[in-house]
Structure 1
């Protein structure tokens, strides 16, 4: 049984309020007792309230349990954006920021291992400021929809006139695939490195060599 399904099964068994020994859980899920100990440590670290210790048994204390949800990548991005926004207000709203951190960790613990090489959870060094990138996201999304060129200034002082083509979400950072009129090639711009952006007059149209399909077909270094 894969870990996400196993963790969900553990929560289903624990939420009945009764005490479950590690041995009985291991037998029911057909894993080792050591695996159960690791899973319990992971659930506890994710902020899920579990009472009990090794050798005594476990039970869940959560008063609210949500049914399983199937999220699209876009829905997951929206959820992460909201949590990042709340988590960024640690100084002003410490209680909500802590809850956002806890919720993010719970989601990270239950995401499938396959296809999610980058964790969902809040970024640590060197990406702890990556959530700032979403402040530019509305402008980039609007430019992509309208096919509007942008003049982008990066934190290192570099400036590019770009055709924004697509925003990619990597769990902790957001990047924009763009054609740079300035450099004459494709760029992958981390939104958290954007210092400023302004729309340029006029819209762009598809041209061979400057389209998203061309970027996808281009060899990577």
Structure 2
């Protein structure tokens, strides 16, 4: 009976934690340009502020947890794809990236903010724990990716570790190009064009990103990723 009671308590705690994260996402959606306070999140969740602090030491850890939940969704689906589906290609992986990372309007701004928090505000132990969890997911996904993208003339696929490197570099490109587009005033979805901008910045972020990622993957695995023509 005691074991069952502990299980119920653990389930209740997870539900409460999820409710806090849901509330944080709602507050972020209302005002994505600023950092939500713990009091705002608690009010949206219908909880006392002290209850939120039982789950998250501060607003920085709360924001990082929201970011991690979104990243978890991507890796969950990517791992399921590469471990169960035959013949996975670049298009299938990029479609998942669009669903989880590129299309949601809050993901990139929050991801960029969290990298700043990890560098300046979060406790080193929290940052290390986050990176360890991310590394475990990336390593499993990278191992799966390696089986689907054999280099020309080689078997069974990419050398061990190349899948992780490809995913890591892909994420760096995804976030870096978004930051570059946002820095010149267009944001992730704007076609970067206009008389006030030089031609070098006239791009559409998703199209530019897809072309850059295809070039990266083609360079790392040969001919497995096909050419894309930007529009």
Tell me the TM-score normalised to structure 1 length: 0.28
More helix by share: 2
Q: Decide which structure has the larger Cα Rg and report it.
A: 1
More strand by share: 1
